[in-house]
């Protein structure tokens, strides 16, 4: 059985994952940094299996919240709505292609860049990106304000932006939301498509980390992972509802400033200590 300290770490990391997975502030970057601060990077908490396995809890939250919208077989949907749901899934598949190809090729190579210097740099760069793009978008109109209006070309371009998230600290949601907004998608559609795009991508990455994991997974480790996943699920439900409500009234600049401040704080911490 895991110790009380390990359970508390699992709960804390589940909270971090649930919040940061959907907000454009880099869940993996936060998990790596938080792990280092709480001393969990040397054990099971620091393994790719835990860092990516915990994401399955967050994914289940999306499936729960958007079950009807994601389900093309829902009896309550009209034939037109079912057709629209299938089209949405085909766009998700198209958007996944760049990450599926390039991500698999660079998966092991990018693990070498999971350090505070890379994470702090990407946190700051994408923070500046959010501020600049939001300022730029104020001078132009939105061209894609619904999922049906999104073309397959647009979906593929968003998928290409998602490839950038293989660099630690970038944020998968941050890269896709930035890319979507840059090519004319509304904040609401950018965030929602990012949610849906996460389902096959994160399930695939988690499965890849599981089958390539070379260590021994004890019953204690499974309990720790299960606790973290349940917490990530619950917190993700709250975080997603918050973000969908937030973007209806506000822009993403606050997340940009948060990334810049956090990135600067990480640099200062590691240079001083």
Domain ranges of the chain: 4-272
Q: What is the mean pLDDT of residues 116-142?
A: 91
CA distance 49 to 163: 21
DSSP at 25: T
What confidence score (pLDDT) does residue 41 get?
58
What confidence score (pLDDT) does residue 87 get?
96
pTM: 0.87
Instruction: Say whether 115 sits in a helix, a strand or coil.
Output: coil
Q: What is the mean pLDDT of residues 216-245?
A: 93
Q: What is the mean pLDDT of residues 187-200?
A: 93
Residue 42: pLDDT band with limits 50, 70, 90: low
Q: How far is CA 251 from CA 132, 133, 193, 206, in A?
A: 12, 10, 17, 31
């Amino acid at each position: 059985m895991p110790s009380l300290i390990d359970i508390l770490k699992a709960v804390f990391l589940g909270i971090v994952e649930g919040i940061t997975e959907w907000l454009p502030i880099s869940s993996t970057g936060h998990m790596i940094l938080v792990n280092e601060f709480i001393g969990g990077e040397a054990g099971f908490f620091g393994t790719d299996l835990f860092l990516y396995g915990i994401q399955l809890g967050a994914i289940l939250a999306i499936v729960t919240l958007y079950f009807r919208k994601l389900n093309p077989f829902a009896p309550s949907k009209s034939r037109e709505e079912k057709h629209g749901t299938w089209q949405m899934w085909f766009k998700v598949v198209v958007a996944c292609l760049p990450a599926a190809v390039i991500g698999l090729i660079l998966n092991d190579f990018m693990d070498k860049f999971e350090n505070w210097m890379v994470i702090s740099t990407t946190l700051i760069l994408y923070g500046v990106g959010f501020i600049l793009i939001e300022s730029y978008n104020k001078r132009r109109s939105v061209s894609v304000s619904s999922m049906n209006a999104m073309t397959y070309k647009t979906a593929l371009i968003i998928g290409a932006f998602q490839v950038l998230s293989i660099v630690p600290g970038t944020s998968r949601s941050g890269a896709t939301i930035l890319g979507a907004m840059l090519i004319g998608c509304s904040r609401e559609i950018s965030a929602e498509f990012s949610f849906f795009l996460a389902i096959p991508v994160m399930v695939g990455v988690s499965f890849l980390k599981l089958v390539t994991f070379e260590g021994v997974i004890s019953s204690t480790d499974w309990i720790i992972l299960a606790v973290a996943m349940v917490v990530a699920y619950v917190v993700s439900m709250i975080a997603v509802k918050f973000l969908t409500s937030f973007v209806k009234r506000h822009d993403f600049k606050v997340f940009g400033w948060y990334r810049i401040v956090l990135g600067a704080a990480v640099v200062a911490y590691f240079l001083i200590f």
